[in-house]
Chains A and B, each alone.
Chain A
Amino acid sequence: MRRRASLVLLAFAVFFAALAPLLRWYGYPRLAKIPPSEYQTAVLEARPATLLDYGTMKPRTVSKVSIVQTLRGNVAAAEKVGKATGRDVVVWDALSYVAGPDGAMVSKIPERYVFDAHSQDPVHAGGEHVDGDAVRREGIEYKWPFLTEKRDYRYFDAQTRTSAPIHYKGTRTFRGLKVYYFEQTIPWTRVPLPKTMPVDGVTPETVRKAGTSRWYSTKRMFWVEPTTGAPVNGQEIHREELRGGTLLGDRGRVTVFSGHVKMREDYVRHTVDLVTSQRRLVLLLTTWLPGGFLALGTALFALALLLEARGRAARHQRSVPALASTPVPGIRPR
């Protein structure tokens, strides 16, 4: 009976001990992924900000500028690109909508971001674009990979349509979460004019024909929760100018937008709560379950050995009296 129990325990011990590394190194990389149907919004604000008044073509200070970012996973497009590339793909249709203090549109830039659901590596298919311009992303955008490392990454800048390093600047604590702080500075760069301008009758063509160009510079900061790779806070010191041409009269440059953009407090709280719950799921797959299974496997193996040893001892004890009563040839009992 003990023999059978120790064999059953041994089978379970091997089951759990094998499950630990299988789950961590085979299961986790395949199970942890961005769902293709994700829908997320974020609101960032610059208070106060400088905005160009297109009526007078002079910059003015306003109380607030809001940036509304929406990410919507396009499941049909993801399945189509997934079939074509043989990868698990996510397609995000995104919109960055900038509103003035009265809610009027300042700019709106649509994007399509196609990336690997597991590694967040960009996938060059499915019509990735920024404001209708085809782009070829390198590196990451919006989200870092699961189990983010303490190193620099390449981050795609939608305004310049190029990727540049985003530097790891240290580990911080943000609202009780351990986060990695990243920073990227884009120097003054000439960038395309948005396809949709905030004033009727003004188009990118009319601005270009006037010999005026748009320039942009930013310093972006992200606080990234490393287990999920999700930013829990983001800020930008963002500046845009129009330079040259007849539109500006005798001025060489005018500010279009300038402000320190920060995530709105209710969105920070919402994001921290969301990331905290997602972090538990990733930790379950990477640490808690594999660790627990390994400990359970070891304990069951020890129990199986113990039962087996006791069983052998009992069998040995039963066999000794039997041996003592067996007559040995040549020895006559007294």
Chain B
Amino acid sequence: MRALAAAAIGLAAALALVLAVTAIGAPSGETSPKPLLTTVPEHP
């Protein structure tokens, strides 16, 4: 019974971690202020 409880705690923690990380996601950032180029750049 204790083993089952320990396994359930491990499973719940893994689920919670993955759900939290995917829910937070990555920040979207902002549109770059750099222009759409109309000259040939010297380098990348």
Binding site for B on A (CB under 8 A): 3, 7-8, 10-16, 18-19, 22-23, 26-27, 30-31, 33, 35-37, 39, 41, 43, 66, 68, 70, 72-76, 78-79, 93-95, 97, 99, 103, 105, 108, 110, 266-267, 270
Whole-angstrom distance between the Cβ of A305 and the nearest chain B Cβ: 10
A31 to B43 Cα, complex, angstroms: 31
A94 to B28 Cα, complex, angstroms: 19
Binding site for A on B (CB under 8 A): 2-3, 6-7, 9-11, 13-15, 17-18, 21-22, 25-26, 28-32, 34-41, 43-44
A68 to B30 Cα, complex, angstroms: 23
Partner of A75, one of B31, B43, B44: B31
Closest to A110 in B: B36
A-B contact pairs, 6 of them (CB 8 A): A10-B7, A27-B22, A37-B31, A95-B36, A108-B38, A270-B44
Let me know if B6 and A14 touch, CB within 8 A.
yes
Partner of A33, one of B6, B26, B32: B26
In the complex with contacts A41-B44, A74-B31, A266-B43, A18-B10 CB distance below 8 A? yes
A70 to B39 Cα, complex, angstroms: 11
Interface SS of chain B: helix, strand, loop or mixed? loop
Closest to A29 in B: B22
Let me know if A103 and B40 touch, CB within 8 A.
yes
Residues of chain B lying within 8 A (CB to CB) of residue A13: 10
Residues of chain B lying within 8 A (CB to CB) of residue A35: 26, 28-29
In the complex with contacts A7-B6, A10-B10, A26-B18, A31-B40 CB distance below 8 A? no
Let me know if A18 and B14 touch, CB within 8 A.
yes
Closest to A297 in B: B10
A23 to B26 Cα, complex, angstroms: 16
Partner of B28, one of A14, A37, A72, A95: A37
Let me know if B22 and A26 touch, CB within 8 A.
yes
A13 to B6 Cα, complex, angstroms: 10
Closest to B29 in A: A37
Let me know if B18 and A23 touch, CB within 8 A.
yes
In the complex with contacts A68-B40, A103-B40, A108-B38, A19-B6 CB distance below 8 A? no
Whole-angstrom distance between the Cβ of B24 and the nearest chain A Cβ: 10
Residues of chain A lying within 8 A (CB to CB) of residue B17: 19
A32 to B36 Cα, complex, angstroms: 26
Let me know if A22 and B38 touch, CB within 8 A.
no
In the complex with contacts A14-B10, A94-B36, A31-B25 CB distance below 8 A? yes
